[in-house]
Structure 1
Amino acid sequence: MLSTGALRAHLLAARLAGPVATSREESLRSYRLFAARDPRVLLGLDPRGGWAQPELLRLMADKCGVSADPAHVSGPDVIDPERTLAGLDAFARRLREAALARAPVLFGTGHPHRLLGFYADVARALSAVGCAVLTPAQGVAVDIVTRFGVRTYRLGYVRGVALVQEPGARAAGGAIGAHTHSPLPVRIALGALAQAGRPLPELVVGDHGWVCGAGQLGFPAIGLADTDDPALFVGEAEGSVSVAVPLDDGVPAEYYRPLTRYVLGRAGLTR
């Protein structure tokens, strides 16, 4: 199993933590939009608290390690690797609980070109110990509001992980899918399971709207989030999201492989 020290070094070298590619300007803009209840950054969450921007900045400093100084308005943002490690340990514990319970699990990502491999390897490990990896509503149309207007996608699955695709797209090589923050895909997937009377997930694993949308509906949800995704950390603070792991969610896909080894080792899911 990858050691904590080795993973910490990798997080910093790959810029998954420490100074990251996400800029301070991007993060502060997201906090302003979240405080204004802009659905683009709420990701399906309906926060109970007021979460004005100063309060949100303090939360993100606590959860991620970003600067709490409101006068710091430019440059790269920063994630504390110790908080990332703690988040990954909590993530692994939830995977271990699901594995022991042989729980049905739903995986979904809005970052298929970056994070698909991470989730797919976790899905495979859970399936190997008897967890049902759910794939509901495959091929169903999803109308998502984008900056280009409403676009229709299809809900698809690659290696057990849900994503949205352009109509007619093939998941060649397991990497084709659209980047999205929308909670609509997870709502459609969960609704299809309920309508069919099939078992519902006892854990949802993913990012963006997959985690917040599921958590808002009361499903245990864990996932990864960058410093410009405050919704997951607000959800964790309020109890609707079980685990939010702070890290850069936009680095090359291969940089997440050591994280996979680490969480599967911690969860007791390696052979």
Structure 2
Amino acid sequence: MLSTAALRAHLLAARLAGPVATSREESLRSYRLFAARDPRVLLGLDPEWCWGERDLLRLMADKCGVSADPAHVSGPDLIDPQLTVAALEAFAGRLGAAAAARAPVLFGTGHPHRLLGFYADLAEAVSAAGCLVLTPAQGVCVDISTRFGVRPYRIDYVRGVALVREGGARSPGSATGAHSHSPLPVRVVLAALAEGGGPLPELVVGDHGWVCGAGQLGVEAIGLADTDDPALFVGEAEGRVSVAVPLDDAVRADHYGPLARYVLDRASLPGRQEWP
């Protein structure tokens, strides 16, 4: 079993927490855009409260450990590893409860190049525990706004985890997917489940629009978020996201393996044993 001390050391060594690659400039820009209700950073959330830039800075200092000083405007941002560990404990608790209830679960990521393996290991574990891992709307096209205009993407699943691919991209089942913040894919997936009369997810696990889009629709959601993704933490503060875990979401994919191991240990779920 990976100890809390070993996890904390790994978080710092891999720069998942502590000084992270996400810059203070990137984070502050996201807070400005969120305060202006820019859909690019709302990630599908429609905030009930009025969030100014100072409010967001205080929230992110509380939830992530970033500096609360508005005069601190440059350099690497900071994540408190103790806050990451505590959030992973809560994340494991929700995943373990879903597994114990054999609840239907949906996994989805906008960071497939980095986080696919983390979610896939969780999906395989809850499936082995008797949960139905949902994979609806395979191959359905979704038009997503990008900085290059509106482009078509296809919904696909790899090892039980939803992602999107650009039209004409690799064949279904390959590990390559697109980086996306959009809540549209989870809305399409949930609509397909409702129209098909099948079970709806009792828990959505993921990041970006998968979490905020689901939470906005009243589906319990838990996920990972960087310091420049305030929407998940606002959703948590407002009660529409159950757990938001602060960490750098763009380090090497293998660095998330020990986190999956820790979560599965704490959730009392079997997992792979070959992680470091």
Following superposition, the deviation at residue 174 of structure 1 comes to 4.3
State the TM-score, normalizing by the size of structure 1.
0.99
Q: Contact between 1:15 and 1:248, CA under 8 Å: does it hold in 2? A: yes
Question: 2:7 — aligned with what?
Answer: 7
Following superposition, the deviation at residue 170 of structure 1 comes to 2.6
> Is 1:254 the counterpart of 2:254 in the alignment?
yes
Question: 2:38 — aligned with what?
Answer: 38
Aligned CA RMSD, in angstroms, stands at 1.0
Question: 1:87 — aligned with what?
Answer: 87
Question: 2:168 — aligned with what?
Answer: 168
Following superposition, the deviation at residue 270 of structure 1 comes to 1.9
Question: 2:201 — aligned with what?
Answer: 201
Q: Contact between 1:47 and 1:234, CA under 8 Å: does it hold in 2? A: yes
In 1, Cα distance between equivalents of 2:190 and 2:101 = 20
In 1, Cα distance between equivalents of 2:248 and 2:242 = 19
Unaligned 5+ residue runs, structure 1?
Answer: none
Question: 2:19 — aligned with what?
Answer: 19
Q: 1:75-132 CA distances to partner (integer Å, 9 max, x unpaired)?
A: 0000000000001000000011001100000000000000000000000000001000
Q: What amino acid sits opposite 1:197 in the alignment? A: G
Q: Contact between 1:158 and 1:171, CA under 8 Å: does it hold in 2? A: no
Moved over 6 A (4+): none
In 1, Cα distance between equivalents of 2:235 and 2:54 = 17
Identity %: 80
Q: Contact between 1:159 and 1:174, CA under 8 Å: does it hold in 2? A: no
Q: What amino acid sits opposite 1:261 in the alignment? A: R
With over 3 angstroms needed to count, the CA separation of the structure-2 counterparts of 1:122 and 1:68, relative to structure 1, is same
Q: What amino acid sits opposite 1:103 in the alignment? A: A
Q: How many residues align?
A: 271
Residues 1-271 of structure 1: matches in 2 within 5 Å? 1-170=1-170, 174-270=174-270
SS of match in other structure, 2:176: coil
Which 10-residue stretch deviates more, 243-252 or 173-182? 173-182
In 2, Cα distance between equivalents of 1:134 and 1:173 = 15
State the TM-score, normalizing by the size of structure 2.
0.97
SS of match in other structure, 2:151: strand
Following superposition, the deviation at residue 169 of structure 1 comes to 2.4
